[in-house]
Amino acid sequence: MPDKTAQSGTDLPQTSGHEQNSSEATPHSAAPGDGFLGQLIAFLYRYRVWCLLLWVLAMVVIGYAGVERRFAVTDKHNLDKFVHVGVFAGMAFWPIMVCGWRKTGLFFVLLVILGAPGLELMQAHFGNGRIASLADMTASLCGAGAGMILAALVRRAG
């Protein structure tokens, strides 16, 4: 009488990695049907270390440009506030797109939020004639909030 207590591994259907369900994408790879945003998020996640190093470099450049007088935007038509909103929106958007709402992404967004008053304090202390402005700090914080909202909408759409 044959033993029927266990099946051997050869009796089970074998599937290769290419035959598996492609709708289950990991954070490291995008499924073919994910569309552009899904592939972009997978790409950013794959190269997240380089993306975050680029982000840190951009923060250093923005900090330097915020203190140096020759990089000041003329405040003739309040364009300075649009620059603050745009720069801080981009700096809050990027970590959430790269890391999502994990601790790492939230840590970098917290750095952006703390960078708003920090930049104004640096201008007051090292500003070579530039002054700290509550309106600039408010515009920077609004930009960080807008970047977070935009990143949440883009990640939800993707």
Give the distance from CA 50 to its chain's centroid. 12
Residue 19 belongs to a domain:
no
Domain that holds residue 91: 48-157
Q: pLDDT tens-digit profile of 88-105?
A: 998 898 888 887 888 888
Residue 25 belongs to a domain:
no
Name the domain count of the chain: 1
For residue 141, pLDDT over 90 is answered with yes
pLDDT confidence tier of residue 2, bands split at 50, 70 and 90: low
Q: Is 69 left (phi over 0), alpha (psi -120 to 50) or beta?
A: alpha
